[in-house]
């Protein structure tokens, strides 16, 4: 580990190998024929370190001592560029809420460069909220503390849950105020500014390819795809990586790989109850990483129709239960974008079928593991799972708590013919106990009997079953109200709850008896509070 950040080794292949914007003046504009524009961060007046992730720092070979230095703060707020940094923002387009939006780009993200660590891993360092870029359109390129805390905590929480994600190195308050209209109701107010440093092997999105296809700039499209395969998917190219030209067969292999990774990522979202909230194609990573933590949320009472995004409240396009279908729709837009390089509709359509098949298989295996089954058996488990999900949606049932409680039950000794025993285990998972009608209790009791019978077929000892279930069903997730409590404190200058939650979420599957209160279901005061139930895209 290094105690100074000056030891970082930069190898900026993205800007070295791809075409640049010839205009060097930073003003809002359409950028043609270029994958990026060089731009410098806007200096912050009074930067102050809010929090850092020691695990993310380790990816850069940085010690915790290095993270606590003034140099760290100055660099990762954007006030100081190290030797080797060559900062830029990327050009991309995208479909937003199902409609083509044209050029979007890194409107408030500035990449500092790519480092190669001592394991030969490549990590791109990106500041979010460090000022305007040519892609900022009518915005200021800044971010506020509220959204920065949410992104920082969720990035690291997802990593510890075992879900593919971009990472967050730090949050640094800028010491300046930023005007935001959080509710889009014409009543803006000033909020504290902040910058998050994000890490990923690549921040390339579906939209990076879409923009060049839309503009019929096939030459730049090809350069970007060749670079992406050689840099991020070299195993697909094999010896071809050493040659200038890649074949359309390799392009197709690449698209199939993106389909598989996307399917695996969304299955993991569904496993823990994560709702991205704004699955536009410009928010989809070609590496199958969760990217752009905006109006996300965690399913608390199980409701497949829930969306955390106020902008999506009417159509609910990005609702929890629709995420698998939206991912496929987004992949179809990526297929359209790279079609000029493949010119094989049937093969691209087969890759989309591959996505559906992969998702279904992985989802079934995931649900079987959540239920402590040895393996998914179609003849028994399809109905068992569908019946359970239907029952969970009948009354307000906390999804996270339900599966943890289910793991506690020893079906080899407990008698579930008694509703009293049922309530003994599960009463705490219900938000409105008055909803527990005799009809509902009869349904869930009947389901539990079928579940017990299915478990007896596996004949897995209770303790082994519980260990399996606890490894797949987290006890601690970043509940929406917990994030809001941390924000409330941070806005008063108290960052202690950010650190507390970061430590808590490092071990989401462990019992942590001293932190039991953080596993409890959403309190009544948070039911309809903005930040705890619904969020806007404003940050």
Q: How far apart are CA 127 and CA 117, in angstroms?
A: 19
172's enclosing H/E stretch is strand 167-180
Q: Tell me which DSSP letter residue 305 carries.
A: T
The residue behind tokens 């709702």 is: 275
Neighbours of 346 (CB within 10 A): 7
Active-site residue set: 282
Q: Tell me which DSSP letter residue 459 carries.
A: T
Q: What's the chain's length in residues?
A: 539
CA distances from 249 to 157, 236, 253, 333, 438 (A): 37, 10, 6, 19, 59
Q: Residue 411 region, left (φ>0) first, then alpha (ψ -120 to 50), else beta? A: alpha
Neighbours of 20 (CB within 10 A): 16
Q: Residue 12 CA to chain centroid, in angstroms?
A: 25
Q: How far apart are CA 48 and CA 152, in angstroms?
A: 15
Q: How far apart are CA 114 and CA 14, in angstroms?
A: 8
Q: What are phi and psi of 151, to 5 degrees?
A: -65, -45
CA distances from 24 to 80, 94, 116 (A): 19, 24, 27
Q: What are phi and psi of 231, to 5 degrees?
A: -90, -45
Neighbours of 504 (CB within 10 A): 23
**What are the start-end ranges of the H helices in 395-437?**
399-408, 419-426
Instruction: Please tell me the chain's helix, strand, coil percentages from 3-state DSSP, rounded to the nearest 5.
Output: 50, 15, 35
Q: Are 173 and 143 in contact (CB under 8 A)?
A: no
Q: Residue 473 CA to chain centroid, in angstroms?
A: 18
Rg (CA), the chain: 24
Tokens in use for 205? 């999105």
């Amino acid at each position: 580990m290094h105690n100074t950040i000056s030891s970082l080794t930069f190898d900026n292949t993205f800007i070295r190998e791809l075409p640049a914007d010839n205009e060097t003046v930073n003003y809002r504009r359409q950028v043609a024929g270029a994958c990026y524009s060089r731009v410098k961060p806007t200096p912050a007046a009074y930067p102050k370190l809010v929090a850092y992730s020691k695990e993310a720092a380790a990816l850069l070979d940085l010690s915790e001592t290095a993270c606590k230095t003034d140099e760290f703060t100055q660099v990762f707020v954007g006030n100081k560029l190290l030797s080797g940094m060559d900062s830029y923002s990327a050009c991309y387009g995208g479909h937003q809420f199902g409609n083509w939006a044209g050029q979007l780009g890194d409107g408030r993200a500035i990449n500092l460069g790519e480092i190669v660590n001592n394991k030969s891993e490549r990590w791109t360092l990106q500041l979010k909220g460090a000022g305007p870029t040519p892609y900022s359109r009518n915005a200021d390129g800044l971010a506020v503390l509220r959204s920065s805390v949410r992104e920082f905590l969720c990035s690291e929480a997802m990593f510890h849950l075992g879900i593919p994600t971009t990472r967050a190195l730090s949050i640094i308050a800028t010491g300046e105020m930023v005007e935001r209209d959080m509710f889009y109701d014409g009543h803006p107010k000033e909020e504290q500014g902040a910058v998050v440093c994000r890490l990923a092997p690549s921040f390339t999105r579906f939209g990076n390819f879409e923009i060049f296809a839309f503009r019929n700039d096939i030459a730049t499209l090809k350069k970007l795809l060749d670079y992406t395969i050689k840099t991020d998917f070299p195993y697909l190219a094999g010896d071809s990586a050493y040659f200038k030209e890649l074949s359309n067969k390799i392009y197709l292999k690449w698209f199939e790989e993106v389909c598989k990774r996307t399917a695996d990522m969304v299955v993991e979202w569904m496993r823990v109850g994560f709702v991205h909230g704004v699955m536009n194609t410009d928010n989809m990573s070609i590496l199958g990483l969760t990217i752009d933590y905006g109006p996300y949320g965690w399913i608390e009472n199980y409701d497949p129709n829930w969306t955390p995004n106020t902008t999506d409240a009417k159509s609910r396009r990005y609702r929890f239960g629709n995420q698998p279908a939206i991912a496929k729709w987004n992949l179809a837009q990526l297929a359209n974008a790279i079609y000029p390089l493949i010119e094989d509709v049937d093969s691209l359509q087969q890759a989309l079928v591959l996505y559906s098949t992969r998702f279904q298989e992985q989802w079934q295996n995931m649900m079987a593991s959540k239920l402590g089954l040895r393996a998914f058996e179609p003849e028994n488990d399809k109905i068992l799972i569908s019946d359970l999900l239907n029952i969970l949606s009948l009354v307000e049932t906390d999804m996270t708590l339900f599966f943890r409680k289910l793991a506690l039950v020893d079906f080899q000794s407990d008698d579930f013919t008694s509703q009293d025993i049922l309530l003994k285990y599960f009463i705490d998972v219900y938000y409105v106990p008055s909803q527990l009608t005799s009809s509902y209790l009869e349904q869930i009791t009947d389901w539990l009997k079928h579940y017990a019978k299915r478990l007896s077929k596996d004949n897995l000892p209770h303790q082994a079953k519980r260990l399996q279930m606890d490894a797949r069903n987290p006890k601690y997730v970043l509940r929406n109200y917990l994030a809001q409590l941390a924000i409330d404190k941070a806005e008063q200058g108290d960052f202690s709850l950010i650190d507390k939650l970061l430590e808590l979420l490092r071990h989401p599957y462990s019992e942590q008896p001293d932190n039991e209160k953080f596993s409890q279901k959403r309190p009544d005061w948070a039911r309809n509070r903005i930040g705890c139930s619904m969020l806007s895209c404003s940050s």
